Amino acid sequence: MKKQSNGGILLKSNILNRIASIQEEFNFSGSVLVKEDNNILIELSHGFANRSEQILNSTQTKFGIASGCKLFTAIAICQLVETGELSFDAKLEDCLDELFPYFDKEITIHHLLTHTSGIPDYFDEEVMQDFEELWVKKPMYLIRTLEDFLPLFQDKPMKLKAGERFHYNNAGYILLGLIVERASKLEFSKYIEENIFKKAQMYNSGYFEFDSLPKHTALGYIALPNGKWKTNIYSLPVKGGSDGGAFVTVNDMSNLWDSLIHNQLLDEKHTKMLLTPHVRTGEQNGFYGYGVWIDKNEDGIFKFHIMGYDPGVSFHSAFYPKTSIKTVVCSNKSQGAFDIMSEIEEVISH
């Protein structure tokens, strides 16, 4: 490990002061990692992974990251394109045998990757506020495979025309996961663990089931109006899929960024394609690549980042190409990661 410069020590001090103020205000629960190249600037944890047993969070704790793992799905698709099993222009109807009676015949893998397919979502964030509403009619304990999600959206009409505009869509990434399964002939989670987690040395990460969690896994906590709390085990599918729900440690997520940017998961051509700003998101200077958000500034690309929110989960992680800084913020509460991330970014961007 390289010795930190005075600038690095000052940066660390400033970040720690910022995090301390946020921790005091919001009672953050989770883990934070900030690295500059291979130098660890910040590595800390707060709160409990298990409140009932008073087990503390640590940098070895596995946290749910919700939609943060759409990046894994996109990498998997790009790997299969690289090996010739798929193409970005391939039509959805040519990739899957399932019936989607109202879907546009022109939907491609590229549309699904960039949230421009226009298909209906099983959880439309423009319509629904509470993810838990989904499991009233279809209990979450029945959702264990990607096929289990299909009845939630496959017979609904299109929301937009294919390619019309960016509209964040979880169902599209469920379809991408099914495409990975068909093309690779492996269960989706098995494919990711074998072809991404192992290659990126993410040895503590996985798609775990709520009723079979391994040790060092944080339970997610939801605050109730009366000041009490509950866990999120009845608020999410029992096993995450290609649109969200993997568990990672902060160090594993940092390893993922390292492997990706050094072309260890994809060749240079397909890494660049994944990290290309393909579509505007509607946010100022905001773009979307394949499974990754991209922010630009006057100097070019400011950061590549991913995020995830579920009941009892908040997650942010980013790579800043100009400085080679990586940040990972995992929380086992519904809020908190954004506030910590914002404070860190305020320091490293000045």
Q: Could you report the per-residue pLDDT of 103-135, keeping only the tens digit for each?
A: 999 999 999 999 999 999 986 666 655 555 655
In 3D, which of 239, 124, 137, 132 has the Cα closest to residue 171? 124
Confidence of residue 234 (pLDDT cuts 50, 70, 90): confident
pTM of the model: 0.93
Helical H segments across the chain, by residue range = 6-26, 70-82, 92-95, 109-113, 170-184, 188-192, 250-261, 268-274, 337-348
For domain 6-348, the question of CATH label 3.40.710.10 is answered with yes
Residues 169-191 have pLDDT tens digits of 999 999 999 999 999 999 999 99
Task: Note the pLDDT of residue 57.
Answer: 98
Task: Note the pLDDT of residue 8.
Answer: 67
CA-to-CA dists, residue 162 to 5, 119, 158, 293, angstroms = 50, 8, 9, 20
CA-to-CA dists, residue 246 to 266, 315, 323, angstroms = 21, 12, 28
Instruction: Name residue 59's amino acid.
Output: T
Residue 2, pLDDT > 60, answer no
Task: Note the pLDDT of residue 39.
Answer: 93
Mean pLDDT across the chain: 92
Residue 140, pLDDT > 90, answer no
Task: Note the pLDDT of residue 158.
Answer: 96
Q: pLDDT higher for 209 or 143?
A: 209
Residue 19, pLDDT > 60, answer yes
Q: Which two tokens stand for residue 101?
A: 């009676």
309 - beta bridge partners?
314
**Crossing angle between the packed helical segments 337-348 and 6-26, to the nearest 10 degrees:** 150
Residue 36, pLDDT > 80, answer yes
Residues 312-329 have pLDDT tens digits of 999 999 999 999 999 999
Average pLDDT on 189-206 reads 98
- Cα angle: 59, vertex 192, 108; to 5 degrees: 125
Q: Which two tokens stand for residue 312?
A: 């009892």
Other beta carbons within 10 Å of 7: 9
Residue 3, pLDDT > 70, answer no
Average pLDDT on 57-81 reads 98
Residues 250-285 have pLDDT tens digits of 999 999 999 999 999 999 999 999 999 999 998 889
Task: Note the pLDDT of residue 126.
Answer: 61
Q: Which two tokens stand for residue 159?
A: 């929301």
Residues 47-66 have pLDDT tens digits of 999 999 999 999 999 999 99
Q: Which two tokens stand for residue 242?
A: 């290609």
Confidence of residue 1 (pLDDT cuts 50, 70, 90): very low
**Contact criterion met (CB below 8 Å) for 18 and 347:** yes
